[in-house]
Homo-oligomer: A and B are copies of this chain.
Amino acid sequence: MTVQQDIHSSGIPVLCLSCEARHRGACGALDPDHLVGLAKTSWRHKIEPGVKLIGDAEAVDSYSNVLSGVVKLTKSLSDGRQQIVGLQFAPDFLGRPFKVESPINAEAATVVSLCSFPKAAVERIMKEAPELEHRLFKQTLIELDAAREWMVTVGRRTAPEKVASFLLTIARNIDRTVDPAARSARFDLPLTRVDIADFLALRFETVSRQLTRLRADGIIRIENNRHVTVDNMSRLEQRCGG
């Protein structure tokens, strides 16, 4: 799909006008000219849960913005043991700059909608517009902070603390437009019990047991396996173990 240009809206392509990636994501770094150039070669698409976006050690020839849904980033050992090493929410930028092969797998955890670009186009604009590289650098630093924070959870928290921490990070990221200091939250879990286990380095049975414990203790309510309500976020925070 090629994007139409609307010369009456400061030259910003129509599809970009209300796009989250332009408001809070990588495209916010671009002036109208670059936006038009990139939009010409971009395409939006929808991906079903479980579909692989990027394979470990595979060449990738496009970058994407996550417009909605959740992407899981995973790494695997040769015998099949798997670890989720990151989650990407809207409006994160997906792709590894300066490297032909991705060091990780990326897979749609939910229905995901993406706006994708040819790798070459992004890299050309990155050279012309240092502000784009600057934004991507900042996002990468935030991802690094998150990865290290998650290492503490995976390595040093107990199973109950891990599950509570997981719920907290989902609550804070699933809809980043809501106040991160909100005292209550409702959301659909973007991951199955197996996925959550792969994220926390647990077994899915353990995840299930910890969720029923949180439910029994009145900290969360769960409807239809996926829909979670947290009435009192601070009680959940207390279960994260410092």
Interface residues, chain A, CB within 8 Å of chain B?
A: 73, 75-79, 81-83, 85-86, 96-99, 103-104, 130, 133-134, 136-138, 140-141, 143-145, 147-152, 154-157, 200-201, 241-242
Contacts and interface: CB of A to CB of B under 8 A. Distances in A.
Given A103-B149, A140-B141, A151-B85, A201 B75 contact: no
Contacts of A136: 137
B241 A77 contact: yes
B154 A151 contact: yes
Taking each of A144, A154, A157, which has the highest tally of chain B beta carbons within 10 Å of its own beta carbon? A144
A200 B96 CA distance: 26
A136 B97 CA distance: 13
A98 B138 contact: yes
Contacts of A156: 77, 81-83, 201
A69 B11 CA distance: 53
12 contacts: A75-B149, A81-B157, A82-B156, A96-B141, A96-B145, A98-B141, A103-B149, A104-B148, A140-B144, A151-B154, A154-B154, A155-B155
A98 B136 CA distance: 13
Given A81-B156, A136-B137, 6 more contacts: A79-B242, A83-B151, A86-B148, A137-B137, A137-B140, A155-B200
A86 B130 CA distance: 28
Given A141-B98, A201-B156, A241 B149 contact: no
7 nearest CB pairs, A to B = A78-B242, A155-B201, A77-B242, A85-B148, A147-B147, A137-B137, A81-B156
A206 to B, nearest CB: 13
A209 B107 CA distance: 38
A241 B151 contact: no
